[in-house]
Amino acid sequence: MKILITGGAGYIGSVLTEKLLNKNYKVTVIDNFMFSQKSLNHLMHNNNLKVENNDIRNTYNFKTLINKNDVIIPLAAYVGAPLCLKDPVNAHQVNFESNKYLLKQISNSQLIIMPTTNSGYGKGDKNGFCDESSKLNPLSKYAKDKVEIEKILMERENSVSFRLATVFGSSPRMRFDLLVNDFVYKAYFDKYIVLFESNFRRNYIHVKDVCNAIEMCLEKTNKFKGEIFNVGLSSANLTKLELANKIKEYIKDFVIIQENFTKDTDQRDYLVSNKKIEKLGFKPMFSLDDGIKEISKLLITFRRFTDGNV
């Protein structure tokens, strides 16, 4: 099976590319390496890997790649509300227009597995509960584009949407702007954190478990296709304060201050149900504690991160 991963050199993409190569899939990555990341260097020896250093907005090239593959996993994006706010034009082109182009070009027989986000749930129902049928209420441009592209994606049968919780864990293209990774970084280097909306609940998932869910979807496509799934840790629907306290169990001199100095753009405060994917047999392998220990180990080992590249 030939798989095209857009953004395959990214935080999730570089872990996924390695995993799929290890499973003997033929993988093509298109990525513009916008962070100068070296995240695929260790995989260049593999003859089943092709890498295109290119922008997905180069449609002539993108179309050729789309036509050559059986499965497309679109990960290329301007990720997160802050980056989209900083560069809204490029963010909309990549997050929405390019994926719309992909969905126009693709044939019915080609499968798309797209990670979207559970940021679109906003506050959930009156108890904060959300499952895949819950009303969406995206507030940031990032979440709005994700929700709009998911609607178009699900108009075709051979599509799967994974609404990911906030991802954590280490990757060859490291991200410290993600909640768990960021809190551990602050605990380790700053020794304190100032929390806003500290009682807002969020859901989390390890980067390797995201890749496990994608692999499972490739292996049991008939059970997944045409469906939307939340992908998160059911054991970790924690408030930001609970998360910070959990980190404090490992980094004892971490000082937690609560102050409402700003607001989350998407007002994410929800209790996410992951039952739908769990019913298909998906079982996360990594807990939040595993992730906290892993990130601490990474920080202790390297001491400083200046450019996000390990």
Ligand X SMILES: NC(=O)c1ccc[n+]([C@@H]2O[C@H](COP(=O)([O-])OP(=O)(O)OC[C@H]3O[C@@H](n4cnc5c(N)ncnc54)[C@H](O)[C@@H]3O)[C@@H](O)[C@H]2O)c1
If binding is defined by CB under 6 A, does position 173 make contact with ligand X? yes
If binding is defined by CB under 6 A, does position 183 make contact with ligand X? no
Binding residue (CB under 6 A) for ligand X from 4, 20, 72, 79: 79
Question: Which one of 3-11, 104-112, 273-281, 297-305 is the stretch in contact with ligand X (CB under 6 A)?
Answer: 3-11
If binding is defined by CB under 6 A, does position 213 make contact with ligand X? no
Q: Least distance (Å) from ligand X to the CB of residue 172?
A: 10
Which positions ≥6 away from 245 have C-beta within 8 Å?
256
If binding is defined by CB under 6 A, does position 59 make contact with ligand X? no
Distance of CA 190 to the CA centre of its chain: 26
As given in the structure block, the two tokens for residue 215 are 């692999």
Binding residue (CB under 6 A) for ligand X from 4, 9, 160, 272: 9
If binding is defined by CB under 6 A, does position 112 make contact with ligand X? no
As given in the structure block, the two tokens for residue 293 are 């220990």
Instruction: Tell me whether residue 55 or residue 266 sits nearer to ligand X (CB atom).
Output: 55
Which positions ≥6 away from 6 have C-beta within 8 Å?
29, 30, 31, 56, 72, 73, 74, 75, 76, 98, 102
Instruction: Tell me whether residue 110 or residue 119 sits nearer to ligand X (CB atom).
Output: 119
Binding residue (CB under 6 A) for ligand X from 3, 13, 265, 270: 13
CA angle 230/223/95 to nearest 5° reads 45
Cα separation, 166 vs 15, in Å, equals 16
Please identify the residue of the shown chain whose CB is closest to the bound ligand X. Answer: 10
Give the chain's count of helices (H) and strands (E). 12, 14
As given in the structure block, the two tokens for residue 271 are 């209790």
If binding is defined by CB under 6 A, does position 180 make contact with ligand X? no
**Phi, psi at residue 149, to the nearest 5°?**
-70, -35
CA distance to 8, 16, 165, 239, 264, per residue, from 74 (Å) = 8, 12, 17, 30, 26
If binding is defined by CB under 6 A, does position 266 make contact with ligand X? no
Which positions ≥6 away from 196 have C-beta within 8 Å?
258, 259, 260, 261, 262, 263, 264
| Count of positions on this chain that bind ligand X (CB under 6 A) | 28
Cα separation, 40 vs 302, in Å, equals 20
Question: Which one of 25-33, 188-196, 239-247, 285-293 is the stretch in contact with ligand X (CB under 6 A)?
Answer: 25-33
If binding is defined by CB under 6 A, does position 32 make contact with ligand X? yes
If binding is defined by CB under 6 A, does position 43 make contact with ligand X? no
Instruction: Tell me whether residue 101 or residue 250 sits nearer to ligand X (CB atom).
Output: 101
If binding is defined by CB under 6 A, does position 169 make contact with ligand X? no
Question: Which one of 64-72, 160-168, 213-221, 254-262 is the stretch in contact with ligand X (CB under 6 A)?
Answer: 160-168
Binding residue (CB under 6 A) for ligand X from 167, 195, 228, 288: 167
Contact present, 61 and 52 (Cβ < 8 Å): yes
If binding is defined by CB under 6 A, does position 265 make contact with ligand X? no
Instruction: Tell me whether residue 148 or residue 258 sits nearer to ligand X (CB atom).
Output: 148
Which positions ≥6 away from 102 have C-beta within 8 Å?
6, 56, 62, 66, 72, 74, 112
Instruction: Tell me whether residue 30 or residue 288 sits nearer to ligand X (CB atom).
Output: 30
Return residues touching ligand X (CB under 6 A). 7, 9-13, 30-35, 55-57, 75-77, 79, 94, 115, 117, 164, 166-167, 173, 175, 178
